[in-house]
Structure 1
C-alpha cells in the first residue's frame, strides 16, 4: 500500500451494477431467494417489457381483434345463443364455399409448395447431398490407400458386457432379517368384525373378530356352501312342511341369466346415479330427473329400486303426465291400472293417460268403458272419439257416435268426413253441406263433396261446378290454396280412384298464379312432371286444358298423343289423333302417327285414307309420300308402291325420294331399274353422297370385272363431288382390297387421312387393312398415330386394347375408359374381356352398360346376344328372349356390321328382332375372342 499500487480488492466495498448476476460470465445462472428480496414485489411494467423486446429486436404480438375470434369461442352477447338448424346450414354452406375456393387454388398452392420445398432443400441440403462431392472423390483413392485405412473399433462387445453387468446388478437379491417381515405383516394387517350370522335359529360358529382378509374369504365361502347345502336338501324340507326361498332347479339358470357388467359400466352407472341423485334432490319438482333416475335403475337391472324411485317422482310431481306414464310402464298390468287411476285424479284432462289406460285393458267392453269415461272428462279430444268409433263393430253405432262427436267438436274436419263416409249418399250430402257451413275454410270438405257426386254417377259438369264453387268460396274465406297445392289434391283424388274430381280440380286451378305468356311452357312442364310421378289422369287433364287454350300447338298435341299411347285405349288415342289432325292439318308428324296407329291395328284401309287426307292437306310432302309408298310395300303391293314413288319423284323431287326409290328397286331385286334410277338421280343431285354410294354398290353387286371397274369409277366420281364423305373413301378402299390391290387401298386411305385427319373411322379402317394383310407392326404404328389424332375415340381405344397382350389388357381398358369418356365401344370391349375370363355376371352387367351408353349401336346388341346365346347353350341360362324384345323397341340404326347386314337387299323387309341372331353369328365368326 505504501508503494502506491492500486488496491485490486477495492470493488468489494462498492455497490454492484444494476442487473449484475454473480458468475454469469462463467455460465452460472443466478437465483434470488425470499430472504434476499423480502416481501413480494411487482413484476416489470408493460412499457418495460415492450422496451426490452424492442431492444432485442422482437416484434410485439398484436392482440387478436375481437371481430376475428373463433365462433366456437364466442363470449359476451352471443355466449348463450342456441346453435340452431339455420346456424348448422350456414356453417355447412361456408364449409362448401371454403372447399370450392380451396379446390380453385389447389394447383397454385401445390406449385408454390413445390417451389418452397425446392428452395428449402437448396438452402438446407440433406447430409448425403453435402457429402456428394466427397463420395465422388472416393473414386480417386488407390488400392494401397484403401488397404492402409485402419480397422474401426468394435464397440458392440463392450456395450453387450455393460448391459449384462447392469442386468446382473439389478437382479441381485439380498436376504432380509425377520424383523422386517414381521413389521410388514403388522403394518398390513386388516382388522374387521364379522357379525353373527343366523342360520335357521342357530348361531354361526364364525362370530367374533376376524383378523385377516383370508379369514374373511373363508368365512364367506362357508356361508355360501351352507346355503347351497340347504338348497340341495329343499326336497326333504318341503316334505316336512317347511318352505325354502331358493329354487334348486332354477338356481343355476338364474345365475346364467344374470348379465355381468364390467367395471367401466359399473363406474358409469355410479356416476350417473350420483348426478341424477343430485338433480332430484336439488329440484324435486323436476319430472325428467325422476324419469331419468328410474330408467337408470332399470338399465342397472334394479327394477324394484326403479319402481320406488318413479313412485317418489309421482308424489313429488303429481301434475306431470310423463311421470305417471313412466310409472305405469315400469309396473305390471294390474299395478299400472291402479297407478293410472291415481293419475287421472290429478290429470283428468290428459288424453295420453286415458289412452294408456284403454290400451292396458284386455277386452273390448272394458276399453269402451274407459274411453266413454275419458270422453266425459275430455269431450273435445278427436283422438278419443276416433278410438271409440274404431272399437264399434256396427256401422250404425259408429255413425251415432260420430254424430255426437261432430256436435262436441264441430271444427274437426276428420270427424265430419268420417261421418259422411259412414252415411248413405243422401245423408252424406246433408252432412257435407252442414260441415261446409260450419268450416268454410276447409277445401277437404269440398273435395269430398265432389267425390261423392262422382260416386253417385253425376255428370262431369256437376263435379266441375262443385270444384269451381269451392275455389270461389275459399277465396272469399281467405283460405285459398296455391296452384301446386291444388295439383297435389288432384293427384290425391287420382290415387283415391276419382278421375272426374281430379280433372275438375285441374280445370279450376290451372290458371292460378301464372302469367299469360308462361302458360304454354309451365303447363307442359306440369304435365310431364305428373306423368313422371305416375299420375296419368292429372297429366291428361292438364293437356286437355292446354289444348283448349292452344289448339294449334303441335308439341302439346304430340305430348297428349304420347300420353294416350302409354296410358289410354285405342279408341281414346284415335279420337285424340283425329282432333289433332283436324286442328293442325299441316302437321305431317301427326298425320304419320295417325296412319302408323291405323296400320299397327291392321286397319290398312284406314291408314290409306289417313295418308290420302294428309297428302291433300300437305301437297308435295316428302314424308307423307314416302310413308304411303312404304305402306304399300309392306302390304306386298309392289305396283302401287312403285307408282306412288314415281308420283313422288315427279311432284316432290327430293334427294330422299330418289334414294328411297333406288332402295325399293334394289330390295325387289331389280338391279337394272335401280341403276337407272340412281343415274337419273345423280344427274339432278350430283352432290348426293348417298346416291353415289348406292350407284357404286349396285355395280359391285354384278360381281364382274367390268362392273367392278365401273364401281371404281362411280366411287371416284363420288369422291370428286362429295370430298367430305368418309363413307365413299372407305367403300373405295374396300373395293380395291376386294380386287386384291392392297397397295391402292393403302394409297386411298392415305389420301383419306390427309383429307379427314380427325376421323377415327378412317384411322380404324387403315389399321384393319394392315391387320388383314398381316402387317401387325405397321398396324400398331398407325393405331398410335390415330390415337394421337383422335385421343378420345372409343373405336381406336377398343382396337388398341385387343392389340395388347392378355396380361396388359385390363390396364389398357381402364386407361381407355378414362380417356374415351366411357365410350360404348370400350365398355363392350370390357364386357368381352370379362366374358373371356368366365366372369359371366360382370360381363352381363357391362353389356347392359353398353346398351345404356348407346342404344342405337347395333353391334353392341349383337355382342350381347352372342353372349346370352352361349349362356343359354352352356349354362342353361341367359335372357335371349328379353333381349329380342328390347331390340325390337330400340330399333338401332348404326354400327359397322349392323348396317352392312341391315342394308343388304335380301334383308330389306326383315325386322331387327329377326336380324339380331344372324348378326351375333357374323360377329363371332369374324372376330372370335380376339385372343
Structure 2
C-alpha cells in the first residue's frame, strides 16, 4: 500500500505490525476486551513480548532482588555455583557496610545529641530550673518542714456565691412557733381543777366531755422530748441514765442473716439427702451428726436436738454423737446427756473430759475426774488432768505415785513425779522409772539434769573439787545411759541427740548439754576428715540457731581429736570472743598456743586481748613467749612495735624495729620502720630507710607510695614526689594506687590534662580496674562539674568495662537526677549482686526520703554483707546521729568495734593519717562520720 503524503492520518487505516501491543513503550503489557476478541482469545505470551522488545532494541531489566539470592545469579555468574569463598566475601562486604553505617550512626547520634542539648540549654525544663532548689530540700530539718504553712487560696478574689450559700431572714412567726416547741405546761387552770384535771368544753347541755385528742397530743409531745434527751445524753455519774446508739442498733440489725432462695433450696435438698441417709443406715453416726448440724445451720435448734437425740438412741456406742448432743444443749441438759453417755461408753476419755469441763466448781471437776479414773485407770490424760487440778504439791505427789503404780510405762508421769519429789527421793524415783521403762532416753537426761542441779546449787560448804566431781557424774550418767539404750536396741541418731542437747541448753542445763555432746557427737563417724568437716558444720549450725553452749561443746570435743588444727582453735577463739568472757577466751588461747606454738595469729590474739583488758605487762609477756617459738615472725615483731609505740615507749619501739630488720628483714618491716619515722616527723630518717628498702625490695609498691607522700605532703617537693611515683609506676606498673596517687599529685599541681593522661595510661596497663575508672570520673567531675557530659560519659564507659562494680554503680546513682535514682538503684542491685556499697547507697536514698525504718534496715543489711567496710559504718552512724537515739548510736559503735573494719576509701584515709595514730575504733569511726559528706 502506497503512502499518501497529503494524508497524515493514513496510518490509522493501515494494518498493525506483527505482535503489536498498544502502549508497550509506556510500560503496558497489552490486553484486549472480551467484546473485541471473543471468549477464546488470549493476550500475548512472554515470548512474544520479549521478541517485540528485541526488535525495538530494548534490553530486559533484571530484578534487583535477584542479586540477593546466591542460588539465582544473573548474567555472568548465572552458571556458577555459590561456594564457601563467595559466602565469606559476601559476609566481609556486609561487615564493611555495617561498620560504615555505625560510623554514620555515631556521628548522627552525636549531632542529634548536640542539637538536643542546645535546645534544652535554650529552653530548659521546669524540672531542671528548680533542680538546685530541690537539692536544697535535703538540708531542711524536721522542725522547718513541720513549720511550712498549708497551701491556701491567697488571691483575695471574691468568690461567687452559689445557690446553697444564700441566707435568708427567718420570719418572726417561725421563731415564735419554735419557742414553745420543746416545752409543755404542767399547771392546770381553774376549769380543769374544777373538773378533776380535765377541760370541760362547751356542749349542747348533755354534760361535760373529756378531750382525748389533746391528751394524745400531749402524750406524744412528752414522749418525743424524752426520746430526744435520751438520744443526746451520755451516761451520768450516777449510772442511772442510758444512751441510745442508733448506729450500733442498725449494725445489729444488719447482722441478721436473710437466706436467699438458692440457699434455702440447697438446705432442702441436703435435708432430703440426710433424711434418706439416716433412714437407710440408722447405725451410721456421722450421718446423724451431719443432719443435726444442717438443722443448726438453718436455725432450727429444736429439730437439731430432736435429730441428735434419735442419733443417740440409734448409735449409743458412738462417743461423737453424745458429744455433739451435749454441744447442742445447754449446760444442765448436757450434764444429763453425758451422764447417759457414760452408761453406754464408760471407757471414753473424751466423754469424761467433756463432763468435767461442764462443771464450774473445782471440787465438782475433781469428783468427775476421779470417777473417770475408777472406770479408766490406765488413761495418762485423765491422770494428768486430775493432777493439774491439785493446788498442793503433796496431794499431787500422792496422785502421781498412784499413777505410776497403775501405768508404770508412762514416762511423763515418772518425770512429773520426779520433779515434785526432793532431790534424794527424785533419784530413787528415776531409778525406778529407768527399770520400768529401760528404753526411754528422757529418763536418763532427767537424771543428768538432776545431778547438774545438785552440783550447781549454791552451798557454802561445797568445795570446788567436790563440785567438779559432781559435774563429772553428769558425764558418766549420760554416757552410761547411751550405752544402756544401745543395749536395749534404742538407736537415736546424732541429729536427734544434738536436738536433745540444744533442748537441755534452752531449759538451763548447759552441763547436761555438754555431756550429751561428748557421749554422742562422735557416733556414725569413722574417718578423721569426715569427723572434722561434720563437727565444724554441726558447730556452725548450732551457732546459727543461737545455741552457743552446744556449739562450744562440739568444738571442745573436736579439739581433743584435732589439737593441731589451728583453724579449729581460731574458730573456737572467735566463738569465745563473741559470746564468752575475757577469762574464758584467755584460757582457751593459752591452751591453743601450747598445742600450736607456731600459729602466730593465736599468739597475737592472746596478746591483743590482754592489751585490750589493760594488762600491758601481760601482753608483753605473751609476745616474749611468742618470740621464743617464732623468732623470725614478721607479725609478732610488728605487734611488739605497735604495743610499745602506742604505750609511749618510742625508743623501745625504734630499737625493736632495728632488730626486726636485722632478724626478719622483710619488706613489710622496712615499710613499718619508715612509717614509724614519718609518724615521729623524722622525714630524713624515713627517706633514708625507704631508699635502702627500695634497693632491697624494688617491686614493693608501698615503699614508693610512702616516699612520694612524704615529698608531696610534708616536704612540699612536688618534683621529687613526681619522680618517686614515676619510679614506682615503672617498677610496679600493675599497681592502681600508684597511678592514682601520681594523678592526684598532677591535679593538685594544676595539671588536670596530665592527670587525665596518667589515668588513661593506667587503664591500659591495668584494664577493668574499678578504682582507676572511678578516679577518672572524679577527675572529670572536679574539673567540669558533677553533672557534666564528660563525667557522665566517663561513668558510662566505666560501667561498660566493669559492669558489676558496686563503686561505679554507686557513683552512677548519685550522678542521676533525683527522680530517676530509685530505678537506677534497682538496676545496680541486679547487676552487682547486692554489693554492700549499693545497699548502703539505697539506704541513703531512703534516708533522703525520710523513711527512717527502711533506711536503718538497709544500713544493717549493708554492714551484714561486709563488716570490713568502714565507710558503711560511718554512714550508718551519721544517719543515727541525725534521726536515731543514743541507744542506736551506741549499738552502731559497739558492733563496729567488734567488727574492726579496715577498708573503705574514707576509712583508710582517716585511719592512716599520722594525726590519728593510736586511736581506737570508736574514735576513728567518729572522725569518719565527720569526714563523710
Q: Distance in 1 between matches of 2:714 and 2:728?
A: 19
Q: C-alpha deviations, 1:356-389, integer Å up to 9, x for none?
A: 1111112222222211211111111111111222
Aligned to 2:622: 610
Q: C-alpha deviations, 1:168-207, integer Å up to 9, x for none?
A: xxxxxxxxxxxxxxxxxxxxxxxxxxxxxxxxxxxxxxxx
Aligned to 2:905: 896
Q: Is 1:907 aligned to 2:916, yes or no?
A: yes
Q: Distance in 1 between matches of 2:414 and 2:879?
A: 63
1:475 to 468, 475, 486: 486
Q: Is 1:348 aligned to 2:357, yes or no?
A: no
1:549/1:401 CA distance change after superposition, 3 Å: same
Asked if the contact 1:503/1:541 (under 8 Å) is kept, the reply is yes
Aligned to 2:738: 728
Q: Is 1:522 aligned to 2:534, yes or no?
A: yes
Deviation at 1:881, TM superposition (A): 4.2
**For structure 1, which runs of at least 5 residues remain unmatched after alignment?**
1-250, 925-931
Q: C-alpha deviations, 1:93-132, integer Å up to 9, x for none?
A: xxxxxxxxxxxxxxxxxxxxxxxxxxxxxxxxxxxxxxxx
Asked if the contact 2:369/2:382 (under 8 Å) is kept, the reply is yes
Deviation at 1:918, TM superposition (A): 3.7
Q: C-alpha deviations, 1:283-317, integer Å up to 9, x for none?
A: 11110111111111112222111111111100010
Q: Where does 1:465-504 land on structure 2 (aligned, <5 Å)? A: 465-504=476-515
Q: Distance in 2 between matches of 1:559 and 1:781?
A: 48
1:284 to 267, 282, 285: 282
Deviation at 1:663, TM superposition (A): 1.8
Deviation at 1:672, TM superposition (A): 2.0
Q: Distance in 1 between matches of 2:444 and 2:850?
A: 64
Q: Where does 1:635-714 land on structure 2 (aligned, <5 Å)? A: 635-704=647-716, 707-714=717-724
Deviation at 1:802, TM superposition (A): 4.0
Aligned to 1:510: 521
Structure 1 stretch 718-727 or stretch 543-552: which is displaced more? 543-552
1:549/1:893 CA distance change after superposition, 3 Å: closer
Deviation at 1:331, TM superposition (A): 0.9
Root-mean-square deviation over aligned CA pairs: 2.6
Q: Distance in 2 between matches of 1:416 and 1:870?
A: 60
1:510/1:596 CA distance change after superposition, 3 Å: same
Aligned to 1:547: 559
Q: C-alpha deviations, 1:460-514, integer Å up to 9, x for none?
A: 2322222222122212211232222222222222233222322222222223211
Q: Distance in 1 between matches of 2:533 and 2:507?
A: 29
Q: Distance in 1 between matches of 2:579 and 2:904?
A: 33
Q: Distance in 2 between matches of 1:493 and 1:920?
A: 45
Q: Secondary structure at the match of 1:456?
A: helix
Q: Distance in 2 between matches of 1:808 and 1:271?
A: 63
Q: Distance in 1 between matches of 2:803 and 2:254?
A: 71
Deviation at 1:664, TM superposition (A): 1.8
Asked if the contact 1:696/1:710 (under 8 Å) is kept, the reply is yes
Q: Is 1:919 aligned to 2:931, yes or no?
A: no
Asked if the contact 1:869/1:878 (under 8 Å) is kept, the reply is no
Q: Where does 1:47-66 land on structure 2 (aligned, <5 Å)? A: none
Deviation at 1:783, TM superposition (A): 3.1
1:293 to 291, 294, 300: 291
Q: Distance in 2 between matches of 1:834 and 1:388?
A: 59
Aligned to 2:306: 308
Asked if the contact 2:451/2:471 (under 8 Å) is kept, the reply is no
Aligned to 2:750: 740
Q: Is 1:367 aligned to 2:365, yes or no?
A: yes
Q: Is 1:718 aligned to 2:728, yes or no?
A: yes
Deviation at 1:697, TM superposition (A): 0.6
Q: Distance in 2 between matches of 1:675 and 1:371?
A: 95
Deviation at 1:262, TM superposition (A): 2.5
Q: C-alpha deviations, 1:394-427, integer Å up to 9, x for none?
A: 3222222222211211211111222222222232
Q: Secondary structure at the match of 1:562?
A: helix
Q: Secondary structure at the match of 1:551?
A: coil
Q: Distance in 1 between matches of 2:515 and 2:862?
A: 45
2:426 to 420, 425, 428: 428
1:793/1:632 CA distance change after superposition, 3 Å: same
1:781 to 762, 785, 793: 793
Q: Distance in 1 between matches of 2:883 and 2:553?
A: 48
Aligned to 1:357: 355
Q: Is 1:820 aligned to 2:832, yes or no?
A: yes
Q: Secondary structure at the match of 1:455?
A: helix
Asked if the contact 1:463/1:501 (under 8 Å) is kept, the reply is yes
Asked if the contact 1:871/1:878 (under 8 Å) is kept, the reply is no
Deviation at 1:347, TM superposition (A): 0.6
Q: Distance in 1 between matches of 2:810 and 2:830?
A: 12
Aligned to 2:779: 769
1:378/1:798 CA distance change after superposition, 3 Å: closer
1:877/1:299 CA distance change after superposition, 3 Å: farther
2:380 to 367, 379, 382: 382
1:853/1:416 CA distance change after superposition, 3 Å: closer
1:455/1:328 CA distance change after superposition, 3 Å: same
Asked if the contact 1:868/1:879 (under 8 Å) is kept, the reply is yes
Asked if the contact 2:740/2:759 (under 8 Å) is kept, the reply is yes
1:721/1:550 CA distance change after superposition, 3 Å: same
Asked if the contact 2:784/2:790 (under 8 Å) is kept, the reply is no
Deviation at 1:806, TM superposition (A): 4.4
1:545/1:862 CA distance change after superposition, 3 Å: closer
Asked if the contact 1:669/1:905 (under 8 Å) is kept, the reply is no
Provide the TM-score with structure 2 as the length reference.
Answer: 0.68
Deviation at 1:791, TM superposition (A): 2.7
Q: Secondary structure at the match of 1:883?
A: helix
Q: C-alpha deviations, 1:710-742, integer Å up to 9, x for none?
A: 111111111111011111111111111222222
Aligned to 1:591: 603
Aligned to 1:150: none
Q: Distance in 2 between matches of 1:799 and 1:537?
A: 45
Segments ≥4 residues shifted beyond 6 Å: 251-257
Deviation at 1:623, TM superposition (A): 1.0
2:337 to 333, 336, 339: 339
Q: Distance in 1 between matches of 2:629 and 2:834?
A: 47
Q: Where does 1:232-311 land on structure 2 (aligned, <5 Å)? A: 258-311=256-309
Provide the TM-score with structure 1 as the length reference.
Answer: 0.68
Q: Where does 1:134-153 land on structure 2 (aligned, <5 Å)? A: none
Structure 1 stretch 685-694 or stretch 409-418: which is displaced more? 409-418
Aligned to 2:416: 418
Deviation at 1:566, TM superposition (A): 3.1
Aligned to 1:173: none
Structure 1 stretch 617-626 or stretch 264-273: which is displaced more? 264-273
Deviation at 1:832, TM superposition (A): 4.2
1:516/1:809 CA distance change after superposition, 3 Å: closer
Deviation at 1:641, TM superposition (A): 1.4
Q: Secondary structure at the match of 2:780?
A: helix
Q: Where does 1:142-221 land on structure 2 (aligned, <5 Å)? A: none
Asked if the contact 1:736/1:742 (under 8 Å) is kept, the reply is yes
Q: Distance in 2 between matches of 1:747 and 1:254?
A: 83
